[in-house]
Amino acid sequence: MSAKAIPEPTPETQPFWDGCARGELLLQRCRECGKPYFYPRPICPECGSTNVEWFAASGRATLYSYVINHRPARGFEDDGPYAIAVVQLAEGPRMMTNITGIPNTPEDLVLDMELQVTFEQRGDISLPIFTPAGASQ
């Protein structure tokens, strides 16, 4: 487990990781044009405004696309083939993630299925991952 890559926050991303540690998925939103966005940075990619704010996302998402990787990255050797997925957050932005609580097979991972965020502890970091909506955590 410890050999898996661990994110190293920068000043601009620290609030995101602090939110994860509290069990919250934080996004940013432009105060000028209203656009929510991810990944964290202090400028709106839609209109260029630096007048942006953090907010707690719902944690709801749908499965946008994925692969099932058969050549594991460092630390994933004992996991078997695992999905590297991109989810569409209910608020609009997309993010890469893993899918837990369901077999990572083409039959079980159906595009557009509803998911919800959960968190995996990795070193000092709480990493947002996703699980089928309604699944017990």
Which residues lie near other proteins (CB under 8 A)?
A: 4-10, 13, 39, 64-76, 79, 81-82, 84-86, 94-98, 106, 111-112, 122, 125, 127, 129
Residue 93 near residue 36 (C-beta atoms within 8 A) = yes
CA-CA-CA-CA dihedral for 59, 45, 6, 97, to nearest 10: 40
User: Which of 113/132 has CB closer to other proteins?
Assistant: 113
Residue 130's CB is within 10 A of a number of other CB atoms, namely 28
User: Which of 39/55 has CB closer to other proteins?
Assistant: 39
User: Which of 79/91 has CB closer to other proteins?
Assistant: 79
Considering the complex, what minimum distance in angstroms separates the CB of residue 94 from other proteins?
6
Name the 3-class secondary structure at 27: strand
Considering the complex, what minimum distance in angstroms separates the CB of residue 18 from other proteins?
13
Tokens of 66: 């994925």
